[in-house]
Each structure stands twice: as structure tokens, then as C-alpha cells.
Amino acid sequence: MSRPNYVHRIRSAREQLLDNGEIPEGLLPDPIQRSWERCLETGLSVKLRPEAEPAALNQLNELRERNSRLLTQAQPEMESLYSHISGTQSMVILSDADGTILHALGDQDFMSKAQRVALQPGFSWREDISGTNAIGTALIEKNPVFVMGAEHYFEENAFLNCSASPILDPHGSVIGVLDLSGDHRQPQEHTMALVRMSALMIENRLFNANFATDVTIRFHTRPEFIGTLWEGIAVFSPDGKLLAINRTGAFQLGINEQKVAGIEFDQLFEMTLPAFLDTARRALSNHANLVLRNGLRLHVKADPGMHTLASAISMPAAKDEAHHQGRRGFAQALAQDPLALLDTGDAMLQKTIIRARKALGHDIPILIEGETGTGKELLAKAIHESGKRKEGAFVAINCASIPEGLIESELFGHEEGAFTGARRRGAVGRIQQAHGGTLFLDEVGEMPFALQARLLRVIQEREIVPLGSNKRINVDISIIAATNQRLRERVKQGEFREDLYYRLNGLRLTLPPLRERSDLQALIQRILEENLDRNDIVIQPDVLALLQRHPWRGNVRQLFNILRAAMVFMEDNVLKAQHLPEDFFEELENNGTEAPFIKLDNASMVNTEAALIRHALNSHDGNMAAAARQLGISRATIYRKAKRYHLL
């Protein structure tokens, strides 16, 4: 919906509120609708805002002292956030858990305007005092909230656009709100994303400050995300009890960050805490792998506390040295030939790998085509790690996931002040980051047409010009592009430049879809052993036949998810048809393959499945989506099974 149309809808809703004292349905976003309704129930008059009473200076100082840890960790992120929006008639605000503003910084003239409506330290912006507003409404909704102009309950606040995100402490409790407020006439496309990212950074800082002698692990399913905003962080006591976990970590582990009391390390993972610390110590860099009880493998970095580290060093190894030597030797062998890891016996895939090997060392642009989930990025990374540029960076960028307005600055970087929201000191683009290494352009067919000409010049001239700059920077990069489309067809349709297509297509590599591969059994075995850490699984012949007949529209990625979900329901080491999720059989039926009738007449199997679903639902307070994520099945499947077992 266009902005003018939406502004008209807000105006219409406000007129009905003023004329009839009623809020019309369907004109406002759900959080704003709920907030207006609460304001009416509280008795707030839309025409008359209550007189604001600020906290006295000594009270404000006391509040700041009480929230000193939050303030200490938030101020650097507030300054960083303000550096993105300075000069745009905006301000950054921090409130406590009760909505009282503790600290604010921003453009001086805009802050003067904000003071007229009490948007300054010492004033409360609780919803029952200040009506619908981002700070107060975010506290009640316990979610990020954007309030645009006239969506504010009190008309005098309509000159504001406000984006706010709650800040959680390491135990999952809301301890404050980060808010970015600005003039309603300024563009607001990216402010909410900036605020949410900054709030998460503050939460991660609180973890670093709160736990000095406990064991902190940082984890993600992809190793490159460790140390970034998207890493999971969990803290364990020296005896293995989970003390705290951040939101990202709770999502990855499938638990509620507010209900961690009593959870033991080995209830989550397939090893004890002492065994894990010993493994991490042996790795020297404290990087290791952990396998969840549902079979998902995580990449982990351990930060042992001082006392824990000393005690862990004296503990015996979890497994014998010969086992560790064998695993290390295997890993070293793969590192020497990363392309070999992809070869599981399929003739079409082998042909692709052979062609890729011949291109090594020649800096030929490579175009990888294949359906979603066939492993295009894995192949690109293996080519990089097998070639002469392996010591350089492998920089991946998904051309379909970055907003069109940002992709140019993401690729080329920008100088200070190049556009509204640009960083104060500018930013280095992804192409420059890949200097000496490889730039991987995933979903390159989705690159905006206008930007394709700039990329073509980079390939031809091997130099870039950041946005807002006249300076040319030489770059030495190898380019690998990937697409799940027929790029040649995009050229014929006029949606992709023909000259760029031929520049990228120095060597075209095609990854076959899983349904056409002959190595399914070997691939399943590799996933079970290396990704799910299960080398004891026996697959019944009828199950293997089902797997071989499946259409696999999601390819290898879907196969991994199906196997991971099956691990949840297995009672022993035998993979049976009953263990496969219902989605699997639905796709078989839709593909014209008659799926077997799975009758759960084994009482223990029924009880086990029902107990797992009941436990997941209880763990997430009945939240179907969260419980489904924990079990590795779809929301529709868990809903049907919950109804079958009378859990609803």
C-alpha cells in the first residue's frame, strides 16, 4: 500500500475515534489497533493528554544508578546507531523497563522539538501515560514496534516516526527499550532494522559483562556467523547448569530463554560439559562442534571462565586419543582437497567436480546453476579453498536478500554522507573485502538491472568507485556467481544483461537435482555420520525405497531436514517409515507415488511421539511454531499430531 493511501486510512480511523469514540476494524496494524483499544480502556482522552510529570533530578540519577549496567553497555551502541542517522532530524533514546527515558542523544534542533512533548530523560513514556507510542507499546507487546505519525494516540505526537525494540537481560527479562525517533517526513525504510540490530548488540554486550567465571559458548550452524550479531550465546555454570541464553541461541536450541532453570548441558547436547571443554582445549583455538539431542550439529567457540578453565585442563579426555587422532587426520585430509568432500559417487556430480578442478588457478569466472538446495555455495567455497586464493577471503553476498536500495552500497561501499543513513566514516564494500580472494554472488539473476552495468565494469577494469567518491580502488578478485534460474532465459526476456552473462559465464557448472542423482544412499550415510553425528543408523529397505522415490523439491537441504526430524522420533538405531514426518508422505502422494499407510499400533511408539510433542508444546507455552521448530517438523504436522493425541 502506498504511503498516501495509508495516511488516509490512519486519518479515517482517527476521525471515527474522535467522532464516535470507537476504533474501526482493519484500518490499523494489529499492534496499533490493540494499543488504541488499551488506551480507550485506560480512560485516556484522545483530545487531552495528561500533564507530564518528570522525575526529579535525584530520582533520575537514582534510576540511572539502578540501571548502570544497562546504560554502560547501551551507550556505545547508541552512539554507533546515531552515527548512522546523524543530520536526519532524529534522536536515539534508551528507557528503563518502566518506560522512563534514561538517556538520549541526537540532532540538537530536533531534540528541542522533542522536549515540547516530553521526549527527554526523566519522563515516562508508559502507554497508560503517553498513549500509543513505540517505547510504551513495545514494552507491552514485548516485540519491536514501529509507530508512524498519526498512529500515535495523542495528536501532538503525530510529528514523530518512532521505531523501538525491547532489550532483554541474559535471563530473558525486559530491562529496557531502545528507540529511534525522527521527523515523520524523513524516510524510515531501514530504521527498524537498525534498531533491532542495535538492541541485539546491547543484549550480547550484557552477556559479556555479566559472566566472568562461568562457561560461555557461542554457536551457530554456520561457523562464519560466530562472533557476529546472529550468534547464539549460552552461559553454563562450572557444573553444567544453563544459567542464561540469548534470543538467537534460544531459537537455535528450541528452548524458552525465560525458562532455563534446571536445564543441564547434557540434556541439550550429546556430551557432558567437561568432555566438551576438553575437546575445545585440544582444538587449541577453543573451536569445536556440538551435536544437539535432535541431531543438529553446531559450530561452537568456548569461552571458559577462569575457575572452569583451570579445572577443565586437569580433567581426562572424553574419548581416547586414538579417536581424536583419527578425526583430526580425516579433517586434515579433507582440508587438503575440499572438492573431494562433495564427491559421493554420482556420475553427473563427478563430471561437474572434474570441470571445476580444471579451472583452478586460472581465475576464470564461474557460473554455477542448480535448483535451490543443491549445494551451490558449498561448491563455490570448495573451489575457493582448493585454489591459489584459499588464503584470501571468501565473501558471499545473496543478491536476492538485500534490499535494492542497499545492494549498491553493500557491493561497492560508500563514503561518509553518501546517502541518508550512511555511516559517519563510510564503509568498505563486499567487493573490496574480497580483494585477494573470491567474491561469491548468490542468486545473481536477482541483481537489479541498473547495477549489472557497474558489476560489468568491475569485471572488465578490476577497479571500483565507492558511492559518494571519485577515488578508484584496484581490486584483485575471482568471481563465482550462482543462480537457481536459467540465466540464459533471463537474458532472452531482457531481465539480465547479455554482456554481463557472458562475462560471468567463463565456465558454467551445473549441479544436478537430488532426484536425478545416483548416490542418494551414500549421501544419506554422509549426512548421518558427518552432519548428524550418527554412524550407528540402520535404514530399513522399505524406507530407503521411499527415500529414492521422493521428488526432493528442496534437494539436499530438504534431505538433511527430513533425516534430522526422523532422529527425533527414533527409539533405537533403526530408521523406520514411522519416523519420517508427514510432510514427506504428503509430497510423495502429490508426486503420484502411493505412500504406505503408517499405522502406529505400537503403543510405545505412540506414547513416545505423544510425549515428545507434549514436552515441546509445554516448553513453548503452547506455541505451535516454536514447538515445531524444536522437533524439526512443520507447523501443520505438529498441529495434526497434537489433535490426534488429544493434546489440544
pLDDT, tens digit (0-9, with 9 covering 90-100), for 211-244: 656 788 999 888 877 877 778 899 888 888 998 8
**647 touches 617 (CB < 8 A):** yes
CA distance 607 to 571: 11
Full set of structural domains in the chain with CATH: 57-203 (3.30.450.40), 211-331 (3.30.450), 338-510 (3.40.50.300), 515-644 (1.10.8.60)
On whether the CB atoms of residues 206 and 169 are closer than 8 A, the answer is: yes
Question: What average pLDDT does the segment 587-592 reach?
Answer: 68
Residue 368 pLDDT more than 90? yes
Comparing 13-17, 352-356, 432-436, which segment has the lowest mean pLDDT?
13-17
Per DSSP, the three-state class of 560 is helix
Query: What confidence tier does 162 reach under pLDDT thresholds 50, 70, 90?
Result: very high
Task: Give 428-484 pLDDT, tens digit per residue.
Answer: 888 888 899 999 999 898 888 878 888 898 888 899 888 877 888 999 999 999 999
pTM for the complete prediction?
0.48
CA distance 184 to 165: 18
308 pLDDT more than 60? no
Q: What are phi and psi of 474, to 5 degrees?
A: -75, 140
Question: SS3 sequence, 5-30?
Answer: HHHHHHHHHHHHHHHHCCCCCCCCCH
The reported pLDDT for the residue numbered 634 is 66
What is the average pLDDT score of the chain?
81
**For 620-648, what is each residue's pLDDT tens digit?**
777 787 777 666 566 777 777 787 777 77
**Interatomic CA distance for residues 368 and 380, integer angstroms:** 8
Instruction: Give the pLDDT confidence of 524-554 residue by residue, as tens digits.
Output: 988 888 778 788 888 887 788 889 889 998 8
Beta carbons within 10 angstroms of residue 328's beta carbon: 12
Q: Give residue 361's pLDDT band: very low, low, confident or very high (50, 70, 90).
A: confident
Residues of the chain with pLDDT > 70, as a percent, come to 83
Q: What's 579's DSSP letter? A: G
Query: Which long-range contacts link 516-521 to residues 24+ away (Cβ below 8 Å)?
Result: 516/348, 517/346, 517/348, 517/349, 518/345, 518/346, 518/347, 519/344, 519/345, 519/346, 519/349, 520/547, 520/548
